[in-house]
Amino acid sequence: MERQRTKAVGVVSAAATVVLLFTGFVADVLGIRSALVSDEEPTREVTVTYVPPPSVAITTDTPIVHEPPVVTRAAVTTTAIETTAAAPPCIVGSWLLNYYRLDETVTGVGTVRMSLVQGGQLVTFRADGTFHGTADLTLEGRASTGDLLARRIAGSGRGDYTVSGDALSQTGVTSSGTNVFYRNHVVTNQINGPIWVDWSVTYTCSATTLTIDGDDQYARYTRQ
């Protein structure tokens, strides 16, 4: 039996020898070697050299400072936009004619100042630069000859207008209506056609009153 055990021990591989040596080292450390080796096995001393892993040198000359990440914000440029809304022109709105005079040249008579005696005219100026209006009015005037001259105007019209300073202009006017002329209450002429035409005049405007002053006419309106 002794001879067979020795033979068995002799054929243990090199890897197993390493395991046994390591196991014996652990047993010595834990103080339990006698539990792993029988009484008949001779005592062997095993020297194990511990080689520590390569150390990593840390240089402390410059302290390691962990800075928080720097967040760069994109610069936001804001541009102030001035949105001052222009007030609509004073002229915008509806106006009723309540005073009108016209210096009219009459063949064979000369210039006669005609004034509003009946009816009127309603005109509306819109903020988009357009206007429209209706008229049904009668003008009268006394000629130097003593004749009573009269003119009745009726119809409607529309077009564009612009204001610049104290100037009011009407352009692109389309209109239709009648002009009937009288002398001493007798019809002397009737013209069917435009009653509004393109023109440019001086104007004034307030909260309640609009005035128009042209070369041969003057009108005053009240706001409706």
* Domains of the chain and any CATH numbers: 1-60 (no CATH), 93-223 (2.40.128)
Res 29: pLDDT: 39
Give, as one character, the DSSP assignment of residue 33.
G
Of the CA atoms within 13 Å of residue 191, those in its CB half-sphere come to: 9
Res 32: pLDDT: 37
User: Contact, 222 vs 215, CB < 8 A?
Assistant: no
- Taking Cα atoms as reference points, which of 158, 164, 171, 157 lies closest to residue 203? 164
Q: 65 is written with which tokens?
A: 């400072």
User: Contact, 171 vs 164, CB < 8 A?
Assistant: no
Q: 147 is written with which tokens?
A: 């004749």
Torsion of CA 17, 18, 21, 23, to 10 degrees: -110
Q: Is 129 left (phi over 0), alpha (psi -120 to 50) or beta?
A: left
Rounded-to-integer distance, Cα 223 and Cα 201, Å: 19
The amino acid present at 185, given as its one-letter code, is H
The amino acid present at 86, given as its one-letter code, is A
The series of mean pLDDT values per 10 residues for the chain, 224 residues long, is 39 37 37 42 52 52 52 49 58 97 90 97 97 98 95 97 95 97 96 94 97 95 98
Rounded-to-integer distance, Cα 173 and Cα 130, Å: 10
The amino acid present at 73, given as its one-letter code, is R
Give, as one character, the DSSP assignment of residue 129.
S
Res 13: pLDDT: 39
